[in-house]
Structure formats: structure tokens, C-alpha cells
Structure 1
């Protein structure tokens, strides 16, 4: 017998409602799963951000410098002085030295030479050593002693670092006839000071610097014209050596190191 249309319609409606109810329940489950997964992602992200923030704060906050950091600060500060300081900071107007009977006297700066290549500011045998160890540049200035009887040229050879300076120093000759080339300034007491007038030369190491000194008489006497015993007992070389040592001291004097990474407060 054919079914009644009303009964079939009610069955289809009930089936449709059941299907919609199942779909709704399934959607609710999916939504709950999505919300839970999203919550986990947000929580993990928050933890990562928290740890990152803590790590960044720990890394950037002020703290005491370690001994290694203190030494690195000193080395870097000393190594940049030849550029960071004004030229009058490297070569002061006056430099103290000890004269006869250890009396304190002052050498006066006559002039400062233009910066030059290392090989052009020293004798050839010295130039080879400096070049082989990566000499960066040569700075020179000329002084006269307090009596204006002696002329002294000081040369600062800038090496890459202190290790290079030490290596270069180990290879330098002990011949006191070679070293830095004199710089004469016309119209001053130094105008007659040339390579032949050098009586003695020497050098001292300080940080990444080799500080050379050479001295002669302002009257233009050559080395050959001065008896060796006069040089040995003259005030000339002690004065020149003292001036060079003073400039080396200025350049390598240890700086004051801040106690913390961000100044004086940790």
C-alpha cells in the first residue's frame, strides 16, 4: 500500500533534524579542539617570549666587567690613542726629562711631521722589520732640550697590536746608528739635523707602539766629528732617551676602566 504523504514528511524532517544535531555536535567538538590548540600555542608563545625577555634583560643589564673584559678595554683604549687623541696629545708641547745631577728640565717641541708610511720614516733595515710585522703608520715630531743644544726626533711606529710590536722588537737590530730618520724644520734650531747628524738612536716598546728616539747637536756636528767618549759621557743621549720614554709612557699609560658594562653602576 502506498504510504501516507504526511507520515513520510514527518520522517524526513526528523532525519534532517537528527543530521543537523550530529553536525552541530561535531562542530562544537572541532571548535573546542581548535580553542584548546590555540590556547596551547598562545601559552607556548608566552613562555618563549618570557624566556627571551629574561635572557635579553640578563644579557643587556649592567654587570661587573670580567678580568678578560677589563684587559680588552685597556688594550682597545691604548691601541686607538694615536687616532683618538689630537696630535698634540701624542706629542705634547713640552716633555719633562732629567738633566745633569738629575735636575728636572723640559724639552720643547719644535714641530710635528706629517704622518707617513712606516718605511719612509726609518732606515731601510728597520723598515723591513716594521713592514713584515704589519706596521700601520709612522708619527714623528722633533724637540730641543732646555738649553737648545740638542735636537731630538721621536718617532712612533703604530703596529697592529701588542703581539706584533713584541715580535717586531725581537727582530730589530741593536745598532744605534739606525732607527728613526730625523725631521728638521727650517728656521728653527733643528734645521741642521739630518741623518748624518744623528749621534745615537734607540727605541722602547709600549702597547702596540714602538717609540724611536734619535738625537744630535743643534750646531750640525756629524757623528763622525764627535769622539765616542764624548757621546758616552754626554747629556745628549740620556735626555733623548728620557723624552722618548715619556712619550711612550703617555701612549701606554693604562686607562681607568669602568667597573660595569654600562658605566659605574652595576
Structure 2
């Protein structure tokens, strides 16, 4: 007889179980279980329990790096922005300083002073001492004095009398330039000396300390082989000076024939045209040196 199946679908007790089927009570009857065993909580550090801690540490490191990077980027941005502001402000200031604008009255005056003060070096010696200079002769007739020669540049104390040299040295005299002229008839000889002071204030102070003595002043310069070769210290009839900018322009005159001051009587000395001619020549040299230059209206020329 065939065995009857239970209405519940289970084999009868004591019967043989069908091969390959799982026992309803959980016992394996031959087929491998599909349920995996969970790893032990007491596994080694590399197991399940160590992995979350390691992951958290890595995440913390990444987050900390992100924070540092944000701080670094913020600082760099602030530095770049500050640098850009500084450059912009500097550029604006430089533009304002360098752009052409009208000169102020103070700047115009300083321009004139600086231009006049450097003429003794900027100009050639023939510009300081022109080849011809005008003067008024007898009956106020216009005549011309002719330049005979220009002396080498000298120290101030070596080109004037000792008393004058002491004053110039005390006030910082820089140099002395000299040239010698003769009148239109070659009767009179004149030596013009330009004492260079540091500035106009020093020149005014030196002029105030000079003694009013027409016997001392610039030393004559004679040029051998010319009509001036007999013009020396004893032949000076009179001396004087005039201020112009930072310069003291000295003048002395005498006779080309070698007559000394002692040989000329007071009456002849007072009515001679020698000294008016000498003073006129010295004044012209001073005028050229201190003639105010043309000042440009703007800092960069004629266009503002």
C-alpha cells in the first residue's frame, strides 16, 4: 500500500524525508544554508569593530583639511584684495602727482632760483663772459668793451684780496670765475670776477660783511702779449661789487699803460670815464647771470 500524505503537507512521522528539502524544524537535511554567520564582535582590530573608528578618523582629517583650506583661501583672498587696494591708491596718487598741472607761485619762484643758481656750471664760460659788452663812453656814446681772455676757475680766496677772501670763505663761497676786457680804445683794462655762493641768502650775508673799501676786491688777470699784460694789483684804480642771485660780481679797472693808482690825481680819478665803464661792464655780467628765466606754466611744459 502507498503511504498517505498528511493534510499539512508534511511527511508522516517516521517516514523518510525527501532528499534536498529543509526540515521544518530548522535542521539541515542536505542543502547548504543560505544564512551567513555574522562576524564575531570580538574579532581582531581589522575586523568589523575597527573599521568605523578608522573611517571616522579619516573623515575628521578630511574635514579638518577642508577647514584649513578655507582659512587659507580666505587669508589669501584678503591679502590679494588689500594689495589691489594699495596698488589702486598708489596708482591714483601717482597719476595725480605726475599729471600736468599749473605751477604754483612757490614752484615758479623755486624754478627761477634753481635755474639761476646752476648757470655758472650749465653755461659755457663764453656765455657768462660774452665776447663784447656795452658801456657808455664820453658824451654818453654807446661803446663796446672787448673780451681779451678768460682765466681758469679758481678758489675764492685765491682770486681776491685777503680781507675779501676771508669773508667769502666764511659764507661758503664755492668758486670764482674771472675774465678781462679792454675798452673800445684799448685805454682801460677791466677784470670781472664772479664769486659763486651757495644760495641767495648766503650771498646777501656775505655782501653785508664786505668792507666798503674800493681799494680791495677781485685780483686783476693779465694776459701776456696783449694790452692787458701790465695790469696788476698796483694798477687797479678802483674796485666794487654788485649782488645778483647767488653771485657777487666784482669789478676792477685800470689803465692799459701801467699807471698805478698813486700816479693818478684825485681830480683826474673823479672825472675819468674809467670807473663808469667798469661798473657798466660788471652790471651787465650780473644782469645776464640773474636775468629771470621764462617759467613754463605747467609742470610738464606749456600744456596743463
Shared fold by TM > 0.5?
A: yes
1:142 aligns with 2:176: no
Aligned equivalent of 1:168: 206
Q: Which runs of 5+ in 2 are unaligned?
A: 1-36
Aligned-residue offset at 1:124:
1.6
Alignment counterpart, residue 78 of structure 2, candidates 21, 40, 43: 40
Aligned equivalent of 1:89: 127
Q: C-alpha distance in 1, partners of 2:191/2:139? A: 24
Alignment counterpart, residue 247 of structure 1, candidates 285, 292, 296: 285
Q: C-alpha distance in 2, partners of 1:55/1:25? A: 45
SS of 2:287's partner is: helix
Alignment counterpart, residue 158 of structure 1, candidates 153, 175, 196: 196
Q: 1:15 to 1:193 in 2, by over 3 A?
A: closer
Alignment counterpart, residue 5 of structure 1, candidates 11, 15, 39: 39
SS of 1:31's partner is: helix
1:98 aligns with 2:136: yes
Aligned equivalent of 1:186: 224
SS of 1:5's partner is: coil
SS of 1:215's partner is: strand
Aligned equivalent of 2:104: 66
Deviation per CA, 1:45-95, whole angstroms, max 9, x where unpaired?
Answer: 211221122222223333322222222221121111111111101111000
Q: C-alpha distance in 2, partners of 1:213/1:157? A: 11
Aligned equivalent of 1:209: 247
Q: C-alpha distance in 1, partners of 2:161/2:65? A: 91
Calculate the aligned-residue CA RMSD, in Å: 2.1
Q: Which runs of 5+ in 1 are unaligned?
A: none
- Which moved further from structure 2: 83-92 or 67-76? 67-76
Aligned-residue offset at 1:220:
1.6
Greater radius of gyration (CA): 2
Alignment counterpart, residue 238 of structure 1, candidates 276, 279, 301: 276
Aligned-residue offset at 1:261:
2.5
Q: TM-score, normalised by structure 1?
A: 0.90
- Which moved further from structure 2: 36-45 or 14-23? 14-23
Deviation per CA, 1:197-248, whole angstroms, max 9, x where unpaired?
Answer: 1111111011111111111111221111111111111111100000000001
Aligned-residue offset at 1:21:
4.4
- Which moved further from structure 2: 45-54 or 60-69? 60-69
Deviation per CA, 1:164-198, whole angstroms, max 9, x where unpaired?
Answer: 11111111111111111111112211112111111
Q: C-alpha distance in 2, partners of 1:20/1:121? A: 93
Q: Structure with the greater relative contact order (CA < 8 A, sep ≥ 6): 1 or 2?
A: 1
Compare the two structures and name the one with the higher helix fraction: 1
Aligned equivalent of 2:7: none
Q: 1:214 to 1:19 in 2, by over 3 A?
A: closer
Aligned equivalent of 1:54: 92
Deviation per CA, 1:102-150, whole angstroms, max 9, x where unpaired?
Answer: 2221100011111111112111211111111111111111111111111
Q: 1:21 to 1:136 in 2, by over 3 A?
A: closer
